[in-house]
Amino acid sequence: MTNSWATFGADLHIDPTGAAGLRAGLMDALREAARSGRLAPGTRLPSSRTLAADLGIARNTVADAYAELVAEGWLTARQGSGTRVAQRAEPRRPAPASPPSPPVRRGPVHSLMPGSPDLSTFPRADWLKAARRALTDAPNDAFGYGDPRGRIELRTALAGYLARARGVYADPERIVICSGFVHALMLMGKVLRQRRVREVAVESYGLDVHRNLLTDAGLRTPCLPLDGFGSRTGGLAALRGVGAVLMTPAHQFPTGVPLHPDRRAAAVDWARAAGGLILEDDYDGEFRYDRQPVGALQGLDPERVVYLGTASKSLAPGLRLGWMVLPRGLVGEVTGAKGMSDWMTGTPDQLTLAEFIRSGAYDRHVRAMRLRYRRRRDQLVAALAERAPGLRISGIAAGLHAVLELPEGTERSVIQAAAWQGLALEGLGRFRHPDAEPVGDALVISYGAPTDSAWAGALEALCRVLP
C-alpha cells in the first residue's frame, strides 16, 4: 500500500522556504520556531521519515538538518525518546515594565458561601466504572448528531428515578436534557417570549442571575411576597400580566422554608385557571434530614408544571447536566429552541449518568451525601447553641445551607468582620428582589461546600464573628 502523509505521527507546521537550499531553509525554520517559543522546550518533533513525507522532501535532508541542529544545541536526540526541542532553546523574553503594585488583598481562608456541594466528594471511582461500562456498550450512533432532547438511555433512567424518588410524572418522551439549570431557564425564557408571555413572577428572595436571565429574554419579573409558609401564591391572580411563575417549592432558596400545601394547591389552581405555567426549580430536593422529602409540585399537574432538576448539587456543577420534564404541549417548542442554540448536550456524560443511575450508584451516593450533610448541619446547630445561643437557625433541616437569623442591623457588620478574619459569608439581603420588603437580617451559611478538612476551621471562624 502506498504511504500517505495522513497515516504518520505528530503534525508539525513548518515552512522551510526562504533560504538557499532545502536543508538550510528547514534548519532556519526550526531554529526560529524554537527561538520564538512556538516550539516549546521538550516538544517532540516528528520522525525524519514523517516530516520528510509531510514536506515532500528527501528523508536524508530532514535527518541531516536534525543532526546539525542537535550539534548546535537546538535539539536533543536520545534512543527511545526521539528528537526534541532542547531546554536551552527557550526564548529569552524582555522583562515587562513593572506596573505599580496593587494593594495586597488577602483572599478568604475559609468560605461558607452557598451554591456548591463538597466537590471533594465527587465519586470519581464509581463514575469511572460507569463511564467504562457505558462507553463499552454505547452504539456507534451515540457519537453522532442525536436527538436534541438527549440520549434515550438517560431520559429513560431519569424517568424511573424521578418518579420513584421525587414523585414526578416523567415519561421519557417529555424529558429534555440540558446543560444545567441556567440553560434550562434560558430555553424557557425564549419559549415564553415566543408564546407572548410578558411577565414571569419570581419569589421575593432568590438568585439575581435567574431574574436577569428572564429579563434578558424580554420578560418582566414581579415578585411574590414570602413568609414562613413560603411564597404567597394566592397573590398570583392579582398579577394580571403574569404567564408563569418561577419557584423553589420543596426548599425555598435561600430562606429554607417549604411551600405550604395550601399554597402549592393555590399555585396549581392559578395555573389551571389562567393558562399559566409553574417553573419548579428542584435544586436540592433529595436532601431532607428530618423526614422524607416533600414530593415535587409537578406531580399535582404535569401539564401545568415544568420540572427543572440538575446534577449540580447531588454530584457536581462541573458536569453541566440538567433536565426538564415538560408538559406534553411544550416538548416540541423547547426542543426547537434548544436545537437552534445548542443542538445537544455531550453524549459521553449523558451515557455515564444513565449507567450511574441504573446501577444504583446514584442512589448510594445521594444517601451517603445525605448523611454527610446532616452531620455537618447538626454540628453547625450544636456549635451555635454553645457559642451563640441567642441566635436562631430558621428553615427546615434540608439542603446544603442554613439561614442564621441576626439582630436587626448587624448583617453587614458581621460579613465585614468575617472578611477581616478570612471567612467569606453571604447575607440574606444579597438575595432580595429589588421590589421586595426585607424580612430581617440573616446569614446564608453553606455547610455543604467546605471539604472535611476545612469544615472545622470554617465553623470556628464563623463562631468568632457572631454577635
Pairing of strands 75-78, 82-85: antiparallel
Taking a C-beta distance cutoff of 8 angstroms, is the pair 393, 403 a contact?
yes
CATH architecture label of 5-89: Orthogonal Bundle (1.10)
Question: Domain limits of the chain?
Answer: 5-89, 110-117+364-465, 122-360
Share of the chain above pLDDT 70, in %: 93
By DSSP bridging, strand 277-281 and strand 223-224 are unpaired
Cell triple for 314: 447531588
Instruction: Say yes or no: do domains 5-89 and 110-117+364-465 share a fold.
Output: no
Look up the pTM and report it.
Answer: 0.86
Could you give the angle at the alpha carbon of 371 between the alpha carbons of 177 and 381, nearest 5°? 115
Q: Which CATH architecture has domain 122-360?
A: 3-Layer(aba) Sandwich (3.40)
User: What is the predicted pLDDT for the residue at 340?
Assistant: 73
pLDDT per residue rounded down to tens, the chain (467 residues): 444 444 456 788 888 765 557 888 888 989 988 898 889 998 999 988 988 888 888 999 999 989 999 898 999 988 878 899 998 744 555 555 666 655 555 678 999 999 999 999 999 999 999 999 999 999 999 999 889 999 999 999 999 999 999 999 999 999 999 999 999 999 999 999 999 999 999 999 999 999 999 999 999 999 999 999 999 999 999 998 999 999 999 999 999 999 999 999 999 999 999 999 999 999 999 999 998 888 999 999 999 999 999 999 999 999 999 999 999 999 999 999 998 777 778 899 999 999 999 999 999 999 999 999 999 999 999 999 999 999 999 999 999 999 999 999 999 999 999 999 999 999 999 999 999 999 999 999 999 999 999 999 999 999 999 99
Pick the CATH number of 110-117+364-465 from 3.30.2310.20, 3.90.1150.10, 3.20.20.80, 3.20.20.120: 3.90.1150.10
* Half-sphere exposure (Cβ direction) of 245: Cα atoms closer than 13 Å: 32
How far is Cα 202 from Cα 245, in angstroms, rounded to an integer? 6
For the stretch 129-135, contacts whose Cβ atoms lie closer than 8 Å and that sit 24 or more positions apart, written own/partner, are: 129/361, 130/352, 130/353, 130/355, 130/356, 130/359, 130/361, 131/348, 131/351, 131/352, 131/355, 133/355, 133/359, 134/348, 134/351, 134/352, 134/354, 134/355, 135/348, 135/351, 135/352
3-class DSSP state for residue 455?
A: helix
108 Cβ contact list (under 8 Å, min separation 6)? 419, 422, 423, 424
H/E stretch holding 125:
helix 124-137
Distance, CA of 277 to CA of 301 (rounded, Å): 10
Condensed to tens digits (0 to 9), the pLDDT of residues 431-453 reads: 999 999 999 999 999 999 999 99
| Measured distance CA(305)–CA(301) in Å, rounded | 6
- DSSP letter (8 states) at residue 155: H
Spell out a b/e string for 24-61, using b for 16 or more CB atoms within 10 Å of the CB, else e.
Answer: ebbbbbbbebbeeeebeeebebbbbebbbbbbebeeeb
